[in-house]
Amino acid sequence: MDRQRGIDVLFNPKSIAVIGASEIKGKLGNDVVRNLIDSGFEGRIYPINPKSGEILNLKVYRSVSEVAGDIDVAVIVIPAKYVHPVVEECGKKGVTALVIITAGFKEIGHEGQEAEKRIVEIAEKYGMIVQGPNCLGIVNTFAPYNASFAAGTPEKGSVAFASQSGALMTGILDWSLMEKIGFSKFVSLGNKAQLDESDFIEAFGKDPDTSFLLLYIESVVDGRKFMDVCRKIAPHKPIYVVKSGVSTAGARAASSHTGSLAGSDTAYSVAFKQCGVIRADSMSELFDVANVFDDCYLPRGNRVAIVTNAGGPGIITTDACEANGLQMAQFSAATIETLKNGLPSAASVYNPVDALGTAQPDDYALCVEATLQDENVDSVLVLLTPQAMTKEAETAQVLVDCRKKYPNKPLLAVFMGGNSMTYARIVLNEGGIPVFDFPERAVNAIAELYRYIVLRNSLKDEMPPKFKAEKKRAKEIIESVRMDRRRVMLGSEAHEIAEAYGIPVARIRLATSAEEAKSIAAELGFPVVLKIASPDIVHKSDIGGIMIGLKSEEEVENGFLQILDNVRAHLPRAVVYGVDVQEMAEKGKELIIGCSRDIQFGPLIMFGAGGIFVNYLKDVSFRLAPMTRSDASDLIFETKMGTMLRGVRGEEPSDIDGIADTILRISQLVCDFEDIVELDINPLFAYEKGKGVSAVDVKITIGGE
């Protein structure tokens, strides 16, 4: 069965079997049955246990085959060694979806991994879908049903959550029950043997009960699929991800600039950006976002009104707004009039509104209603500190009433304090107002909502361009390098491949003798550059392997011999193919365009300030290929160099179209040839607008067989 159709059934089953159901409290097989009953599941529940009898007043069947009716979903909680035959049996019975809670598979090593593969093979033979194994289960609060061993069922809400960590899920659930955050779906991904994050994201995208998607993942199973799915959903529903495992990936050996500048986690960040996914920095941020999304509509813009009963916290919050890219709303004349009439004269009626330490619930009502009604305000943040005359709980109730009256704008509360705020917090949580203890987290949550708005507006439905290229020629060169048992191309080869893809290059020819160098130089025209041609030498200039501006045959001859001497002195063991003779390109802005290859997401393109100091300046940015014209433009202008290319301090603008074209042609090249594992053009000289670019030094490394 198609996975998505399978998930439809998994989300809304009419019957669920619990294989490994138990009558012993504390056993997972008991928890699952109890959760199914407690969550109000209205379909049939079939506890399966060889001992038969009754569990929680339900008849127990000895096996799924014993059940007369259809079984949509089978939840498996038996020990790992019994799982295979049970999966087979489920297949024969015609079960649609398996939720395998049982652990002891991929996570325990090779043997478990093999056993896990076998499960999927059997399941797919029968067209079943598989969630897990090694998972907590699944909850759909709208079915409703809870087929998990979690301690409780989340409240109904608009947020769908999928997590690669079951333990984290239990923590989040526990928390959400306290903070009254509602979820539509709650999915534990487990080992992702078959169904992965992308499958569930796709299903959440189509789910009418889900408005927001939250994910915790440690890795993505299929980078392309993930990006394709998210790209479709992000324009309609926000997707927030915490991706951990940043530090465990470790450093990769890399010989190119691009490889060494791309951190182990860069590809994930870039992939998220390119497919419209927002990456949260921490669990608490993810949680705050869930809290706000569950309660609030999206703001229309970034103009925040602050209402407070104390100056200090108002200032802190104003700072936090500015630091998070939010604007302090400028109130309309009507709002200011209302506030002036209603508040004591010492109050501040401009933003932040300071209703003074004596502020009563009525004062708060006045301020919050006025600001919620103001067209210049996109969201309202209410601060309360516990002062002598403060009525915490009544003020909370007033906010809840305001929210009911004006539900369209985000209304958030920061009630600063400890025990004296406890009851007020409950009132707010119950009343659908997200409440925070310190201003910065609340501001950050609003900023996250706004971040989605900006992101959504920037998403474009655009295809990568397709350039005419001599693919065959490039292929021949790669094959000849491979025949030669090399991985690093010679300069002449790399430049030829770039030329084959229409990239303007400084022409280059390999000379194996001083004589040959002289005649090539004459043919290319003086001045020329000489570079050592050796796959073993990466930083040629460091060892005197490059000479520039040679103006005569005599200089070329001397240069040829000098370079060979230098190389022999520094790296006597390097394999030398000769010396590349290259036309001397007119000097332009020094840029770098490079590519490394991410194991998960494929070709990762880098652009930035080039030259020999690229690793020190680190003014570079990244995108994954294939790239659209917008991607190329974003890539360029994310760097400081991008700003400078527009022409600053009276300089002429550079040929940005030419640069973008080069980036896009490289993107096409590395998508055409998976063999190309690393590529650097450094420098690429960019000239004034209309005058194009020139690739001065192209390096290409191909992958091993």
> Which residue in 464, 498, 473, 477 sits closest to 682, CA to CA?
498
Show the binding pattern over residues 615-654: x = contacts its own copies (CB under 8 A), - = does not.
Answer: -xxx---------------------x--xx---xxx----
Q: Rule CB under 8 A: say whether 161 interacts with its own copies.
A: no
Answer for which of 45, 90, 99, 416 binds its own copies (CB under 8 A) is: 416
Show the binding pattern over residues 295-314: x = contacts its own copies (CB under 8 A), - = does not.
Answer: --------------xxxxx-
Output the smallest distance, CB 328 to its own copies, in A: 8
Answer for which of 4, 387, 480, 512 binds its own copies (CB under 8 A) is: 387
Site for its own copies in 81-140 (CB under 8 A): 108
Show the binding pattern over residues 418-447: x = contacts its own copies (CB under 8 A), - = does not.
Answer: xxxx---------------xxxxx------
Give the number of other Cβ atoms within 10 Å of residue 236's Cβ: 10
Structural element, H or E, at residue 441: helix 439-458
Give the number of other Cβ atoms within 10 Å of residue 121's Cβ: 12
Gap between the Cα atoms of 257 and 418, Å rounded:
52
Q: Rule CB under 8 A: say whether 24 interacts with its own copies.
A: no
Q: Rule CB under 8 A: say whether 246 interacts with its own copies.
A: yes
Q: How far is CA 497 from CA 80, 404, 532, 554, 653, in A?
A: 53, 65, 19, 31, 29
Gap between the Cα atoms of 38 and 20, Å rounded:
18
Q: Rule CB under 8 A: say whether 587 interacts with its own copies.
A: no
239-243 β-sheet, strand order: 145-148, 137-140, 182-188, 155-163, 212-217, 239-243, 278-279
Residue pair 620/609 in contact (Cβ under 8 Å)? The answer is yes
Q: Rule CB under 8 A: say whether 242 interacts with its own copies.
A: yes
Gap between the Cα atoms of 638 and 646, Å rounded:
13
Q: Rule CB under 8 A: say whether 250 interacts with its own copies.
A: no
Q: Rank residues 650 and 704 by Cβ distance to its own copies and give the closer one.
A: 650
Give buried/exposed letters for 207-217 (b at 16+ CB in 10 A, else e). Answer: bebbbbbbbbb
Judged by CB under 8 A, the number of residues near its own copies is 81
Q: Rule CB under 8 A: say whether 574 interacts with its own copies.
A: no
- The DSSP call for residue 203 is H
Q: Rank residues 110 and 649 by Cβ distance to its own copies and give the closer one.
A: 649
Q: Rank residues 177 and 548 by Cβ distance to its own copies and give the closer one.
A: 177
Site for its own copies in 467-486 (CB under 8 A): none
Answer for which of 2, 208, 248, 253 binds its own copies (CB under 8 A) is: 248
Q: Rule CB under 8 A: say whether 57 interacts with its own copies.
A: no
Gap between the Cα atoms of 77 and 296, Å rounded:
38
Output the smallest distance, CB 438 to its own copies, in A: 4
Answer for which of 71, 321, 500, 681 binds its own copies (CB under 8 A) is: 321
**Given the rule CB under 8 A, which of 120-128, 158-166, 405-413, 523-531 is the region that contacts its own copies?**
158-166
Identify each DSSP E strand in 189-271 by its residue range: 212-217, 239-243
Q: Rule CB under 8 A: say whether 148 interacts with its own copies.
A: no
Gap between the Cα atoms of 6 and 88, Å rounded:
17
The values of phi and psi at residue 324, to 5°, are -100, 10
Structural element, H or E, at residue 658: helix 656-672
Q: Rule CB under 8 A: say whether 175 interacts with its own copies.
A: yes
Token duo for residue 417: 């304090």
Site for its own copies in 188-217 (CB under 8 A): 216
Answer for which of 144, 182, 386, 432 binds its own copies (CB under 8 A) is: 386
Rg of the chain in Å (alpha carbons): 32
Answer for which of 20, 91, 166, 588 binds its own copies (CB under 8 A) is: 166
Answer for which of 121, 542, 586, 652 binds its own copies (CB under 8 A) is: 542
Gap between the Cα atoms of 368 and 355, Å rounded:
11
Q: Rank residues 57 and 248 by Cβ distance to its own copies and give the closer one.
A: 248
Output the smallest distance, CB 564 to its own copies, in A: 19
